[in-house]
């Protein structure tokens, strides 16, 4: 068990570091090819920050540990809103741009309810997975077209996403990051499955807790850093983009590898919790906008919301404990 715990710890460290390398290399390659900063942010960086979840879920699904992959996707979304965004807002309350309220947040709500309808029969089929991937492709195209006209986001994206690496260094960084991502994800999945078997708990619970928190650490660091630099649109966008990728890419992976049956708790406990947090965040943003005196339609997410999000997250963990 000590070896498994060490594998998880080392796997997380390498996973987080290699994800940064992967994003820096991929973003620089795209920049050198002439891609605009906002497209880099919405596609490559969003995919890159979800790369740990994607690689872990792929490795888990191919290792016949599909419950771990499902738990990783849903648990990461719960952690992104309850932990990552909750802590970020406690550190630096954020102003939410009107475009987020009219575009990104409604899309996340639609995807959350849509994916839930696909999973309500407790089966993740190849067709379900195909629909998820197709929806993700459509959303990326929509986001790119709509946000290319947003001057504020374009300016923030140029500061946030461009790494300015030479072509050779960009490719080497990208390749090294990808290799380490694959190796560390295999190490992490092996350790997680071993601990689940040793403790006698389900792979789903391990995915919802240990693995989900670990793979959400890059989002926590990136979101807090963006908020502290005043890039609040990027900070919230990191969470929304990551959750969309988790729902439509990470969770689709077990269905692509092979049809996956879901534990009842996914439908009765975990997915409803994720949905509740998503709806609560949306309501907090829209209610704040109604109360705001700003003529520009901005919404303010303050520390009270952050405290509630963290409290809900802690309450969910207590619910998990009672379910063991």
Using one digit for the tens of pLDDT, what is the confidence trace for 40-74? 666 666 676 677 788 888 888 888 888 888 999 99
CA 59, 201, 310 angle in degrees (round to 5)?
A: 85
DSSP-derived pairing of the beta strands 123-124 and 94-96: unpaired
- Spatial distance between the Cα atoms of 22 and 192, rounded to a whole number of angstroms: 23
User: Is 165 strand, coil or helix?
Assistant: coil
- pLDDT, the chain, mean: 82
User: Is 229 strand, coil or helix?
Assistant: coil
Chain centre distance of CA 130: 19
Choice between 256 and 221, residue whose per-residue pLDDT is larger? 256
Task: State both tokens at 188.
Answer: 């992490």
> What pLDDT, in 10s, does the model give residues 176-207?
888 888 888 888 888 888 888 888 888 899 88
Give me the residue label for tokens 């929304």.
240
User: Is 304 strand, coil or helix?
Assistant: helix
Answer yes or no: is pLDDT of 318 > 80: yes
> What pLDDT, in 10s, does the model give residues 139-149?
888 877 766 55
Give me the residue label for tokens 């269905």.
255
Choice between 100 and 122, residue whose per-residue pLDDT is larger? 122
With beta carbons less than 8 A apart as the criterion, state whether 187 and 6 touch.
Answer: no
Q: What's the whole-model pTM score?
A: 0.84
With beta carbons less than 8 A apart as the criterion, state whether 300 and 288 touch.
Answer: yes
- Spatial distance between the Cα atoms of 119 and 139, rounded to a whole number of angstroms: 20
Give me the residue label for tokens 């063991």.
324
For residue 250, give every residue at least 6 positions away whose Cβ sits within 8 Å of its Cβ, in sequence order, or none.
50, 53, 54, 57, 69, 72, 73, 76
Percent of the chain with pLDDT over 90: 30
Q: What is the mean pLDDT of residues 157-169?
A: 64
The whole domain housing 68 covers 2-323
Tally of domains in the chain: 1
| Number of alpha carbons in the 13 Å side-chain half-sphere of residue 182 | 6
- In which band, very low, low, confident or very high, does the pLDDT at 153 lie, cut at 50, 70 and 90? low
Chain centre distance of CA 181: 16
> What pLDDT, in 10s, does the model give residues 87-99?
888 888 887 777 6
Choice between 232 and 279, residue whose per-residue pLDDT is larger? 279
Task: State both tokens at 231.
Answer: 């890039």
pLDDT of residue 314: 96
Report the residue count for the chain.
324
Which CATH number does the domain housing residue 91 bear?
1.20.1420.30
Q: Distances in Å between the alpha carbon of 55 and those of 69, 77, 162, 246?
A: 10, 16, 24, 11
- Report phi then psi at 260, rounded to 5: -125, 130
Answer yes or no: is pLDDT of 293 > 60: no
């Amino acid at each position: 068990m000590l070896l498994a715990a060490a594998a998880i710890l080392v796997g997380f460290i390498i996973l987080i570091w290699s994800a940064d390398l992967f994003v820096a290399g991929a973003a620089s390659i795209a920049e050198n090819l002439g891609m605009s900063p906002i497209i880099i942010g919405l596609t490559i960086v969003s995919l890159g920050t979800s790369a740990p979840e994607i690689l872990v879920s792929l490795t888990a699904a191919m290792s016949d540990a599909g419950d771990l992959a499902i738990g990783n996707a849903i648990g990461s979304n719960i952690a992104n809103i309850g932990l990552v965004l909750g802590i970020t807002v406690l550190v630096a309350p954020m102003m939410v741009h009107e475009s987020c309220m009219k575009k990104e947040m409604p899309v996340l709500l639609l995807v959350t309810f849509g994916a839930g309808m696909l999973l309500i029969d407790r089966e993740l089929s190849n067709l379900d997975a195909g629909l998820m991937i197709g929806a993700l492709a459509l959303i990326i195209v929509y986001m790119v077209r709509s946000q290319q006209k947003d001057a504020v986001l374009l300016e923030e994206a140029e500061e946030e996403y461009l790494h300015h690496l030479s072509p050779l260094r960009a490719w080497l960084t990208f390749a090294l990051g990808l290799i380490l991502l694959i190796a560390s994800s295999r190490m992490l999945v092996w350790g997680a499955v071993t601990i689940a078997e040793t403790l006698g708990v389900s792979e789903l619970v391990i995915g919802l807790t240990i693995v989900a928190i670990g793979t959400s650490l890059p989002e926590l660091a990136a979101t807090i850093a963006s908020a502290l630099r005043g890039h609040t649109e990027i900070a919230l966008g990191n969470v929304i983009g990551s959750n969309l990728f988790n729902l439509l890419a990470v969770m689709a992976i077990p269905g692509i590898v092979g049809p996956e049956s879901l534990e009842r708790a996914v439908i009765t406990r975990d997915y409803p919790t994720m949905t509740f947090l998503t709806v609560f965040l949306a309501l907090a943003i829209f209610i704040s906008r109604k109360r705001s005196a700003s003529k520009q339609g901005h919404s303010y997410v303050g520390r009270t919301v952050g405290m509630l999000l963290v409290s809900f997250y802690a309450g969910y963990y207590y619910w998990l404990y009672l379910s063991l």
